[in-house]
Chain A
Amino acid sequence: MAEQLLNIHQLNKHFGGIVATDNVNLSVEQGLIHAIIGPNGAGKTTLIAQLSGQIKPDSGEIEFGGHSITGYNTARRAREGLARSFQITSVVMPMTLLQNVMLAVQGTSGHSFRFWSPVSEDREMATAALESLAAVGLDDRADRIAANLSHGEQRQLEVAMALAMKPRMLLLDEPMAGMGKEEGAMMVDILNSLKGDITILLVEHDMDAVFSLADRLSVLVNGHIIATDTVENIRNNHEVQKAYLGDGHA
């Protein structure tokens, strides 16, 4: 059996009376694209937020790379190699693409209590950032201001930033959200090209994209994972069809 990069043990999160995460157990194998699907309000984003540290779980344990990261804050998890992208585009709008991605390089390359040398003269960081921009096809627009990009381009920038952190694992929260067909197809290509190098946990609504990308699928319903299996088996899983795919997808 391949190595497990991420292990989630009995994770629970309640918001008042609402159960957002219900006893979730999940293992993500090294090198795979593991997708989480589920109806709206199933708790997918809440789960991602607990993995990246924005929300603290009520109970349970998160193991990453062999040790517990449950007590780590967002920044420390990012430095450990667990990078996330956001469902709602979250970049530094007034900065250029290059500056945005250089921030991502900077965040995972030592501390930033450096007060004197200009970042703009740091060739090494710029080169690393341009590589990530090239990986998502944005390197020809490196000096544009992020706010002036199209929505699809901003989503690509979001992924470039996550890549620039040289993560061991990417948490992608609906990377295709709000994208047109063409842009969506481009994102699928980008993610496919990363396959094998980076472990990816993907939350996505676009079923075509999920089926073409994912090696493993987990189905989240009402905060609980009702099945984890290969794409083929999930498609044929009666319980899953009833709970989720039954309404038009299967």
Chain B
Amino acid sequence: MGWFPQTISGRVYAVILLILAPAPFVFEWINQPFYLDLLSRALILAIAVVSLNLILGFGGMVSLGHAAYIGIGAYSVGIPSYYDFYNGWLHLGLALSVSAAFAFVTGAISLRTKGVYFIMITMAFSQMVYFTFLSLEEYGADDGLVIYSRSEFPEWLTMDGSTSLYYWIFGLLLLSLFFVRRLVHARFGRVIVGSKFNDQRMQALGFDTYRYRLVCYVISAMMCSLAGMLLGNFTGFISPDMIGWARSGELIFMVIIGGAGTFFGPLVGTIAFVLLEEFLSLITVYWHLIFGVMLVALVLFGKGGIDGWLSLMDRKRADNG
């Protein structure tokens, strides 16, 4: 079977994609709509995590404020809907343009700093977004905003119904994964990755790395806003709670669980995170404690995350002949 990947990691990812593709029909068949909901939520987050991984994993820019772009995407659906504007292209355009503008301005400032300062300043900017939405009484403030109807698209692209929405999510996820892969292997990606390891050298080679990093940050933010736009449609309800800095922290965890700077790591990391969270909370009310211990152990011992383990298995197999 030439089309099927030969490596263990490749096979695992192929199987995951093959399971995800027909998921709505499987869950309908076994009559478990709850699992489709869970999976939809996980894959929406996965788009956000893929976008974060682009700057964090490949670019070395640890942003603790990426949830802000989920918020911008979600409110790009919520606020127009509040005024009865349900046009999906409008929502999509708003999400992409507002997130790009916000990322351009805040990124231009944040990227002047490095390390811990970058983490803190991205968090500060995202908290600005959080408190802005929190103070907007018109749009529900901390009570949130109900979205009564999904973004309207032409018939063949409709988001109505959980199956259609799932394929919107799955489609955008695949596009994000594919796009990041092309980007990283292209000239642009080489600059981003090189700058992560040795920024001074990259400048001496003639790259204005600041510009490339800024553009990368903006691209990542726009991708993340797509997750927000989907989330608004999925939950039908948005509130500032969705975008606090704790959510940004969770996104970082998902990147690390899956394997920072890998192509499929963010997807498996997010699925693992969401499933663990879900099932641990079914077992015990103290699940936060178990979950916390697991995360600490993973950060301490699990270098490279899930993708790292799979690659390790591949290397061992290669060594054994």
Where the two chains meet, the residues of A that have a C-beta atom closer than 8 Å to any C-beta of B are 52, 54, 73-76, 78-79, 83-84, 86, 90-95, 99, 102-104, 106-108, 112-120, 161, 165
Where the two chains meet, the residues of B that have a C-beta atom closer than 8 Å to any C-beta of A are 182-183, 185-191, 193-194, 197-198, 200-209, 212, 215
Among A73, A108, A118, point to the contact of B185 (Cβ < 8 A): A118
- Once the chains bind, are A92 and B198 in contact (CB under 8 Å)? yes
| Identity of the chain A residue whose Cβ is nearest the Cβ of B190 in the assembled complex | A119
- Distance, CA A74 to CA B188, complexed state (A): 19
A133: shortest Cβ distance to chain B, in Å? 15
| Identity of the chain A residue whose Cβ is nearest the Cβ of B182 in the assembled complex | A116
Give the chain A neighbours of B182 by CB distance below 8 A.
115-116, 118
- Distance, CA A116 to CA B184, complexed state (A): 9
In the complex where A86-B201, A92-B194, A92-B197 touch, is A114 in contact with B206 (Cβ < 8 A)?
Answer: no
| Identity of the chain B residue whose Cβ is nearest the Cβ of A90 in the assembled complex | B201
The secondary-structure label for the interface of chain B is helix
- Once the chains bind, are B185 and A74 in contact (CB under 8 Å)? no
- Once the chains bind, are A74 and B194 in contact (CB under 8 Å)? no
Give the chain B neighbours of A120 by CB distance below 8 A.
185
- Once the chains bind, are A112 and B209 in contact (CB under 8 Å)? no
- Once the chains bind, are B207 and A75 in contact (CB under 8 Å)? yes
- Once the chains bind, are A103 and B202 in contact (CB under 8 Å)? yes
Among A78, A91, A92, A95, point to the contact of B206 (Cβ < 8 A): A78
- Distance, CA A103 to CA B198, complexed state (A): 12
- Distance, CA A168 to CA B190, complexed state (A): 25
| Identity of the chain A residue whose Cβ is nearest the Cβ of B191 in the assembled complex | A112
| Identity of the chain B residue whose Cβ is nearest the Cβ of A93 in the assembled complex | B197
Give the chain B neighbours of A102 by CB distance below 8 A.
190
- Distance, CA A103 to CA B199, complexed state (A): 12
- Once the chains bind, are A106 and B208 in contact (CB under 8 Å)? no
Among A54, A76, A99, point to the contact of B200 (Cβ < 8 A): A54
B182: shortest Cβ distance to chain A, in Å? 5
- Distance, CA A54 to CA B200, complexed state (A): 9
| Identity of the chain A residue whose Cβ is nearest the Cβ of B197 in the assembled complex | A92
Greatest chain A CB density within 10 A among B186, B201, B202 is at: B201
Among B186, B193, B198, B200, point to the contact of A116 (Cβ < 8 A): B186
17 additional contacts (CB under 8 A) given A106-B187, A106-B191: A75-B205, A75-B207, A86-B201, A91-B198, A92-B193, A95-B197, A103-B190, A106-B190, A107-B202, A107-B207, A112-B187, A112-B188, A112-B207, A113-B215, A114-B187, A117-B186, A161-B205
Give the chain A neighbours of B193 by CB distance below 8 A.
92, 95
A155: shortest Cβ distance to chain B, in Å? 14
| Identity of the chain B residue whose Cβ is nearest the Cβ of A110 in the assembled complex | B187
- Distance, CA A102 to CA B202, complexed state (A): 12
- Once the chains bind, are A114 and B188 in contact (CB under 8 Å)? yes
B166: shortest Cβ distance to chain A, in Å? 28
- Once the chains bind, are B183 and A115 in contact (CB under 8 Å)? yes
